Structure 1
Amino acid sequence: MKPSIWRYVKTPKLMKLMKSLDGAQEITSAYVDEAIERLEKEAKEGVVRPESEQSVLEKLLKIDKKVATVMAMDMLMAGVDTTSSTFTAALLCLAKNPEKQAILREEVMKVLPEKDSEFTEASMKNVPYLRACIKESQRIYPLVIGNGRFLNRDSVLSGYQVPAGTCVSMVPLSLLSSEEHFPKAAEFLPERWIRNATDSNGQCPANDLKLKIPFVFLPFGFGPRMCVGKRIVDMELELGIARLIRNFSIEFNHPTENAFRVPP
C-alpha cells in the first residue's frame, strides 16, 4: 500500500514473519505429503473408491500433483483461524442470547434425538434456524473487512468511469450494523434469515427484518472468485455447533464489549 523498507532491508520483523510462514508451510506440507503417501499406497494395493467418496486432494492429484499440494496447503492455512473465529462468534452470540439458544436446541433435538445420534444428509437439510444463527453471527461479528477485485473491463460505478485493471474494494462493515439495511441491527435476530418467521416477541414479521440488498452480506465473496472452502466451512460450522448445542448449555459470563481484537 506504500513504500516499505523491507523491500530493501531485511528488518527483524520481516525475518520473524518469514520464519512463521516457513513454519506454517513445513507443518502443512508434512500433512499433505502424509495424505499423498497414503493415497499412493492405497492405489498400489488396488483400493478404488467411487468418485463421490474421493477427497478434493485425491481428485486434484489425478490432474497435477503440484496444484493439489498448493491447494491443500492453502485450504489448511486459510481454513483454520477463519473457521475457528466464525465458530467462536456463533457460540458467543448464542451464549449472550439464551432464548435463541433454546429455540436452536429444540430444532437440533429433532435431528439428533439421542446423545450419540449420527448426522445424516437428510437430517441436516432440516436445520434452517441453525443456518440462520450462523448467518446472523457472521453479520454481528464479521470475519473479513470486505472483498477486493480487479476490474477486467471498463465499468461505471455510482456514476464514475472506472478503467479496467483498477482494484475495487468493497468494505461493508458499517452496512452490516446499519438500521437501513438491517432493522434492529444491534440485536441478534436469526429470524431475519428465515421466511415467514417472527421476532422473539412474535410481533415483527421476518420480512420486515430481511436484507433488502443481498450484496451487503457477502461473508464468502461472490461469483467465480468466492471462497473455495465455503461448503466445507458451512458443514464444519453446522455439525460442530449442532453437536455442542445438543449436549451442552453454552454460557459466557464475562464482558463482551471487546470480545474480538486484532493482535498487535
Structure 2
Amino acid sequence: MITDKESSYHYFLKLFKVHGPIVKVKYPGQPVLVLISRPEDAEKILKLTQDNPVRNEMEALKMARYINPFYEKKAGIVTENGEEWWRVRSKVQAPVLKPKNVHNYLKDVDQVTLDFLDRISTLRNSEGEVTVDFLEELNKWSLECICLVALNQRVGCFDPNLSPDSEPTLIIKAAIDFMNAFKECESGLKLWKIFPSKIFRQLQDSMQKLTETCETVVQRMESDMQKRAHDPDCQLNLVEQLLQEPGLSHKDVITFMVDLIPGGTNTTSDNAAVLLYLLAKNPRVQTKVQEELDYVLGNGSGNVTAHQLAQLSYTKAVLKECNRLMPPMFGPMRILQEDILLGRYILQKGWSVLLMNACSGWDERQFPRCNEFLPERWLRHRPFGNIHPCASIPFSHGTRMCVGRRIAEQELYTLMARTLHRYNLEWKHGDMERTFMHVFSPKGPLRFTLTERKRKQWSSPQAAIGLRLLSQ
C-alpha cells in the first residue's frame, strides 16, 4: 500500500535500520542534522523546545518579504522565529482555532463542496470517470474554501466562463504559483541566493498579487466595521476579529491572509487527493464511511452541520489513517537553542532535529499491520492497541502546530461526507505517485471514477445504534 517511498525515504529508513532510532548526519555546507524515528524521543524534543520552538526559516519567503517595503522586514508566522513569531502567533491562534469561528464557515464550505460535485458530475465520461485532472479541480475547491476565510467571499473558481485576465483567474494563478515557487525555492540548490532567479521572481510576483488582493479586502472590511460600530448585534468574521486584536497591525493581518491562501490551497487539495485515493482503493472502508454518512446525514437535504460532523467518528478516523499511511511531509523540525540530553546522546545547540514522523507511522511496533489502511485503529476502543500521541502528528504539535488545522479538517470532512454520500469512488489506474519538494504532492493527472450510489435506509433504530457503537 505504501507507494510514495521516494529514494529519500529509502535512505532514511536504511539509516535507522543500520544505526538505530537516533541518527546524526552531516551534509556539506549544512548544519548537523539529527534524525529521530521513535515517538517517545520526538515527544521529549517537543517538550524541551516548547517554550521557544525554532524551526527552519523558509529563507526564500523571508527574503522576498524583507526586500519588499510593504512588509517592513516582518515575514509572518510561517517563517519567523523567536519574539517576532510569537508576537503574531500568540494573537492569531485563539481566533483561528476557536471552534465557533471555524463552524461559522461550515455552511458556505458545504455549499462550495456541493458546487464542486455538481461541476465534477458534468466532467465525467459515460463510465463515470472524470475526464480532467482531478487535482486541478481540487485546487479550485480548496482555494474557493479558504477564500471564504481569508477574503470573506467566494472568488468564482467554478465559473466555466472565466477569462484568463479575470480577478478569480489571477487569484487562482497567484495562489498556485506562490506555493509552487515556495516549494521549489526551499528545495535544491537555492540559486536565488546568488541572483534573482526566475522561480524567485515568480514567488515575488505571486506574493505581490495576493498582497494587493488582501490589502483591498482589509480596507473594505475596516470601512464596513466603522459603519457597523454601533450595531450591538454585529457579528465579526475571523479577519475582522484579527483587525481588532490589540498588538496586531493591519499589515500583520494582511501577511497572515497572504500566507493562509496558498497554504490552505495546495496542502488541503493534496491531502484531499490522497484521502479520496485511499478510499477508492479500499472499498471496505468506503462502505463503512457511507453507512455512517447515511445514518448521520439521512437524505442529505439541508446543510451539513457542526453537530453532524461531530458524529462522524469513523469518517474522522479515515483522515487520521490517511495521514499516517501517506503523510504530507517527513515531520516537524526543531533547531536547538541549547544543548539537550536525549538518551545517552548530547544534541548540541544549533543542530537541527527532524522528527521523522512518517517513519514512525510505518513502524510495525507502533502500528500493527502498518502497511494496511485500517481506520479502526483510531477508534476509541483502540482494537489494534494504544497509539503514542506523537506517533502521527501530520499537523505538527504544540504552539507550532499548523494554525489552519481546524479549518482544513472541516473542509476535508465536508468533502468526504458529501462525495461519498452521493457517489461510489473507484481508481482504475496504477498506484498514486507523489513527488517531494518541501511537502509531498500527488503526481497528476489524477483520474477518479464517480458513480451514483443508492443510499442505505436504516430498517430499525437498533441497526443504527449498532453502527454508532461500532464507531465509538
TM-score (norm 1): 0.85
Pairs aligned (count): 249
* Corresponding position of 1:85: 270
Structure 1 CA distance for aligned equivalents of residues 232 and 373 of structure 2: 44
Structure 2: gaps of 5 or more residues:
1-26, 30-188, 438-442, 444-472
Alignment map for 1:1-264 (pairs within 5 Å):
6=191, 9-10=194-195, 15-46=197-228, 53-62=235-244, 63-196=248-381, 206-211=382-387, 213-256=388-431, 258-262=432-436
Relative distance call for 1:141 and 1:50 in structure 2 (3 A) is farther
* Corresponding position of 2:85: none
Q: Which amino acid aligns with 2:434?
A: F
Q: Which amino acid aligns with 1:214?
A: P
Structure 2 CA distance for aligned equivalents of residues 216 and 158 of structure 1: 18
Deviations 1:133-179 (A, max 9, x none): 00101111110111111234432112212234432211132221121
Structure 2 CA distance for aligned equivalents of residues 5 and 123 of structure 1: 47
Structure 2 CA distance for aligned equivalents of residues 241 and 110 of structure 1: 15
SS at match of 2:208: helix
Question: Per chain length, whose mean CA-contact separation is higher, i.e. which structure has more relative contact order (CA < 8 Å, sep 6+)?
Answer: 2
**Retained in 2: the 8 A contact 1:149–1:169?**
yes
CA apart distance, 1:44: 3.7
Structure 1 CA distance for aligned equivalents of residues 263 and 436 of structure 2: 17
Structure 2 CA distance for aligned equivalents of residues 97 and 34 of structure 1: 45
Deviations 1:73-118 (A, max 9, x none): 1111222111111111110110001111111011112222123331
**Retained in 2: the 8 A contact 1:112–1:118?**
no
- Deviates further, 54-63 or 92-101: 54-63
CA apart distance, 1:50: 6.3
CA apart distance, 1:195: 1.9
SS at match of 1:179: coil
Relative distance call for 1:22 and 1:216 in structure 2 (3 A) is same
SS at match of 1:54: coil
Structure 1: gaps of 5 or more residues:
197-205
**Retained in 2: the 8 A contact 1:109–1:246?**
yes
SS at match of 2:264: helix
Q: CA RMSD in A?
A: 2.4
Structure 1 CA distance for aligned equivalents of residues 306 and 249 of structure 2: 31
Structure 2 CA distance for aligned equivalents of residues 156 and 177 of structure 1: 26
SS at match of 1:74: helix
* Corresponding position of 1:200: none
Q: Which amino acid aligns with 2:281?
A: K
Deviations 1:172-209 (A, max 9, x none): 3222112111111111100000023xxxxxxxxx4324
**Retained in 2: the 8 A contact 1:28–1:77?**
no
CA apart distance, 1:40: 2.3
Relative distance call for 1:249 and 1:93 in structure 2 (3 A) is same
Structure 1 CA distance for aligned equivalents of residues 293 and 335 of structure 2: 42
SS at match of 1:161: strand
